[in-house]
Amino acid sequence: MYPNFYYLFQDLFGVEWKGLVFINTFGFFVALGFLAANWLMTIELRRKESEGLIHPKEIRTQVGGPLSAMDLVSNALLGFVIGWKFLYLILNAGEFFDDPQSHILSTEGSVFWGVVLSAAAVAWKFYEHRALKKKYPQPVTEVQMQHPYQIMGTLTLVAAVAGFIGAKLFDHLEHWDDFVKNPLAAFLDPFSGLTFYGGLICGGAAVLWYASKNGINWRIMLDVGGPAMMMAYAVGRIGCHMSGDGDWGKVNPTSGPSWLPDWLWSYTYPNNVARICDPFTGARCMPGEDVVLSAGVWPTPIYETIMGIILFTVLWSMRKRIRTSGVLFSIYMIFAGVERFLIEKIRVNIKYHFGSLDITQAELISIAMILVGIAGVILFTRNAGKHPESDNAANAAS
């Protein structure tokens, strides 16, 4: 397993670049998932604009005006943080090799490099402003048409921040006893404790809010996001598997079929980033102990990646044939709910007890997603069947 890119490059290319310890494998694939979603949603927004379902928006901006104090302060702060923390960590990577994450969140850093990069950032801002003043001696107001796909950069950032907060929040709710014991440590460790459904709910809500601010109908935005979220989930699960973040399955002592690689049937996740040695209790490895599971487990992240890619392919092939807004996303909800409900049968997760019923948080949300998806298909289709002109009007209004 590769908790960070140092181990990945060492294994694949035989090189040892200690600065790579700061590139977390799980975080890299999560970011890659967001980029994949960004690309797919951009394609869909372009297509829907070409079909006349969404339209560009007039944006007025002033250029050539005076520099604001906020511009200078934000550049100075950004430059200082990059120099003080990140440049310092890269230059001193060897000192933090064993536990780079804890140093990222510590107060260690270089004030010297912070000041240097802060001054450079402010100087660059003045340079940009001077070049702009030559082009525009007097402030002018420019009118531009902003196409819906052009908001995808900001939209992805909004989804990432809200999704991260939601993923952490839902994880703390799921592991409430651990959170109560040490809430500060739980909040300060961004590299563990992320729940997909928390990210989906909070990130999705933020995307709909921002899209509506930019004139995109909420049903159209849902359909645009459905296939993209399925692909992002599949890519993100690659990071779960490669880093060994603990999102694996139950112990699987059985022998797999001869035609299937052992690691695809039962895997011990050596060098896993969660530093777990006992898959039965989830106990962490002792200092000096080899980081490897004492028994093989179902490699469920790989299964979810495979299922996610298959389901994405189905959704992507359906997107042009479904003409009623909201139906494609409803189908995504059903697919995602069924996939996660099935995989929960072999995953390790905390169960809630309701009388004689034992069920996980993910299973509860999966059932809710399936029911909401079925209701969405029925309601959206029924509405379009009774009042087809209202569906067209909703599309045109966006």
> Domain map of the chain by residue range?
5-56+147-397, 62-144
Query: Is pLDDT of 391 > 60?
Result: no
Return all residues near 193 (Cβ < 8 A) that are at least 6 apart. 168, 171, 172, 175, 186
Per-residue pLDDT, averaged over 271-291, amounts to: 91
**What pLDDT is stored for residue 186 in this prediction?**
52
Return all residues near 373 (Cβ < 8 A) that are at least 6 apart. 330, 331, 332, 333, 334, 335, 337
**What pLDDT is stored for residue 385 in this prediction?**
57
pLDDT tens digits for 149-196? 999 999 988 988 888 888 777 776 766 566 556 555 555 455 454 566
**What pLDDT is stored for residue 329 in this prediction?**
96
CA 162 to chain centre: 10
pLDDT tens digits for 361-379? 788 889 999 999 999 999 9
pLDDT tens digits for 55-76? 998 888 888 788 888 889 999 9
Return all residues near 64 (Cβ < 8 A) that are at least 6 apart. 132, 133, 135, 136, 137, 138, 139, 140
List the one residue out of 307, 316, 149, 306 whose CA is nearest residue 227.
Answer: 316
Q: Which residues make beta-bridge pairs with 142?
A: 61
What is the CA angle 160-165-170, rounded to 5?
Answer: 125
Question: What whole-number distance in Å separates Cα of residue 207 and Cα of residue 2?
Answer: 32
Question: What whole-number distance in Å separates Cα of residue 335 and Cα of residue 329?
Answer: 10
Question: What whole-number distance in Å separates Cα of residue 262 and Cα of residue 302?
Answer: 13
Q: pLDDT above 70 covers what percent of the chain?
A: 85
Calculate the alpha carbon distances from 260 to 118, 275, 295 in Å.
54, 27, 18
116 class by beta-carbon count within 10 Å (0-12 exposed, 13-18 middle, 19+ buried):
middle
**What pLDDT is stored for residue 395 in this prediction?**
45
**Residue type, position 39, single letter:** W
CA 11 to chain centre: 26
Question: What whole-number distance in Å separates Cα of residue 184 and Cα of residue 166?
Answer: 17
Task: Judge contact between 231 and 312, C-beta under 8 A.
Answer: yes
Place 125 in a pLDDT band, splitting at 50, 70 and 90. very high
Residue 110 φ/ψ, nearest 5 degrees = -115, 110
Counting every residue written for the chain, the total comes to 398
Task: Judge contact between 250 and 348, C-beta under 8 A.
Answer: yes
Q: Which two tokens stand for residue 176?
A: 């409430």
Most confidently modeled range among 102-111, 198-207, 284-293, 300-309: 300-309
Place 30 in a pLDDT band, splitting at 50, 70 and 90. confident
**What pLDDT is stored for residue 59 in this prediction?**
87
pLDDT tens digits for 31-61? 899 899 999 999 999 999 999 999 998 888 8
Question: What whole-number distance in Å separates Cα of residue 37 and Cα of residue 203?
Answer: 13
**Residue type, position 92, single letter:** N
pTM (2 decimals)?
A: 0.80
Per-residue pLDDT, averaged over 200-220, amounts to: 90
Q: What average pLDDT does the structure give for the chain?
A: 85
CA 178 to chain centre: 24
